[in-house]
Structure 1
């Protein structure tokens, strides 16, 4: 098998086009449990959202964190809207 390498930029563009073109991934509501929560000094929040079988790494930017009515914590069961 012959491989044709691509650049990191080209791979990122390809993945972005795939995600942007999928309606299910433009405002998807996901339920899971917060773990590895970090409230960064910049105001952004970083965490992992997990269930029994899988996990995804997440970021909530400062422009959204200021609207929260609670402080996220590890172990919280949440529903998050993402894109």
Structure 2
């Protein structure tokens, strides 16, 4: 496995990376708030954070296969 030659540009500009990062942040927020007991009275917020994280991850997967001008080279 080898990194692509323009990986810094992809890391900065790709929507898939941004969506995956947002998904991770939502999942971390859910874990932290659940651990601290913030969701002890209402699990509704925990479920919404989990659903939002899954949606962002799925959107990131789709975005990874979509052509994005300025990042990918046209052949």
* Same topology, TM > 0.5: no
Q: Which has the higher strand share?
A: 1
Please report the TM-score for the alignment, with normalisation by the length of structure 2.
Answer: 0.25
* Larger RCO: 1 or 2 (CA < 8 Å, sep 6+): 2
Q: Which has the higher helix share?
A: 2
